[in-house]
Amino acid sequence: MIRLVFIVIFFLISLLTIFRAPAYYFWLLAIVVTEFPLVFAFITLLLIGSGQWVHKYQLAGTVIGFVSVILFLSPIVRSYIISRNLKADIEQSFGVATKANPFQPFDFSNLLNLSKQIESHDAVAMKTLKYVTYQDTSLSLDYYPTNIPNRPCVIVIHGGSWSSGDSRQLPELNSVLAWNGYNVATINYRLAPKWQTPAPVEDVANAIKYLKLHAAELHIDTSQFVLLGRSAGAQIALLAAYTLHDKNIKGVIDFYGPADMVWGYSIPSNPLVMDSRKVMVNYIGGTYEKVPHKYVACSPIEFVDKQSPPTLILHGKNDVLVAYEHSRRLNEKLQQNGIKHYWLQLPWATHGFDFTLNGPGGQLSTYAVLQFLNTIIPTKR
């Protein structure tokens, strides 16, 4: 009977691969379930095969167990299906890459590597630099150098509901990019509620200014910047890319970011996961009813035009913090304006699916990011 109880529990957990998490801690569990599917499938198989069942429960337990295993493994199958056409789809959107991508879109063997990330190199040694001083605060960035002269720079903007997080968030991808020829600057920005929009976009502009000023010592090609943001950081990255009108911003990468702040306020997230309206009020400075113009002013979707830079969108359909609809709306607006873009849609994934680069979502997104960069950044000889 105890084994049957555990089988049922794992069956309920497996449902997180197809349904949205109903509460905050279930969301955290959903990340682990969908990015470490082999672990959960293996444990379930052990439960199925361990000991003898009481006869009347044996068939039911076995059926429920195998259904759970199928659900746990479904992100792997879906990832493989997406991976078969990913290179061609990205090439169709942006053109042929100027250099080879060192990774496969999806490699089953990486799922078995639980102890380290996908990269075959050690982490790149970064250094912390102060990039701007205001009257009431100063800000720093962490710099991951390629140590190769005249290389592009990816500016990474962290998530955290605009009120938390820092430049050390999810650092593994930074090393991957640096090992593949892209300098990386991960910035800290002014956080809500003390500072509100448009402060973070001003911080991005100042980071670019600093990196240009120190380009020689940092080995940066000042004509080639790309912005990459996650969640709240993606909103900042998109808004900066679409409003700064800097011809040196060659592209923007949006990991599950809120692109339409007006729509987002009108359809709040599940309060058991996050009070999204409170988060937005803290960042924007009031409710939509009180300051509607500010919601419009910080909605990246409002500023897409014919001159917007190429955009890579990555979003999981089961995201419970930032609705999938944000990316659909942004994708549509980019299409209307003829902007080169690609939307990597992950049907099983939730918010933060890239926390490990070895998981199904982590592998696909890492490949897509590098393929995007290798395509939009021309190789200089």
Tell me the per-residue pLDDT of 140-171, one tens digit each, with 9 for 90 and over: 999 999 989 999 999 999 999 999 999 999 99
Q: Of the candidates 81, 98, 126, which is a domain's last residue?
A: 81
Whether residues 125 and 50 share a domain: the answer is: no
What pLDDT, in 10s, does the model give residues 295-350?
A: 999 999 999 999 999 999 999 999 999 999 999 999 999 999 999 999 999 999 99
Coil/strand/helix, residue 290: coil
Q: What is the pTM of this model?
A: 0.95
pLDDT of residue 373 exceeding 90, the answer is yes
Question: Do residues 55 and 87 both lie within one domain?
Answer: no
Instruction: Find tokens 């290798």 and name the residue.
Output: 374
Rounded to an integer, the average pLDDT of 60-67 is 88
Residue with tokens 């990913």, as numbered in its chain? 86
The answer to whether residue 301 is domain-embedded is yes
- Cβ neighbours, 10 Å, residue 114: 10
341 contacts 310 by C-beta, under 8 angstroms: yes
Q: Are residues 58 and 110 in the same domain?
A: no
Give helix then strand counts, H and E, for the chain. Answer: 14, 8
Pair (254, 281) in one structural domain = yes
Asked if residue 149 is part of any domain, the answer here is yes
CATH code of the domain containing 180: 3.40.50.1820
Q: Most distant CA pair in the chain: distance in Å? A: 75
* C-alpha dihedral sign at 240, 242, 244, 249: positive
Both 251 and 341 in one domain: the answer is yes
Peptide bond into 360 cis (omega under 30): no
76 lies in the same domain as 94: no
Q: Are residues 247 and 127 in the same domain?
A: yes
Q: Which of 61, 81, 101 is the last residue of a domain?
A: 81
Average pLDDT, the chain: 94
Structural domain including 55 reads: 2-81
Q: Is residue 381 part of a domain?
A: no
Is 349 a domain residue? Answer: yes
DSSP assignment letter at 17:
G
Examine the domain organization and report whether 48 and 182 are in the same domain: no
Domain C-terminal end among 48, 64, 81: 81
178 and 136 in one domain? yes
| Count of domains forming the chain | 2
Q: Which residue has the higher pLDDT, 345 or 114?
A: 345
Q: Is residue 328 part of a domain?
A: yes
**Is residue 310 domain-resident?**
yes
How far apart (Å, rounded) are the C-alpha atoms in residues 259 and 370?
23
Say if CB 299 and CB 259 are below 8 A apart.
yes
Do 123 and 248 belong to one domain? Answer: yes
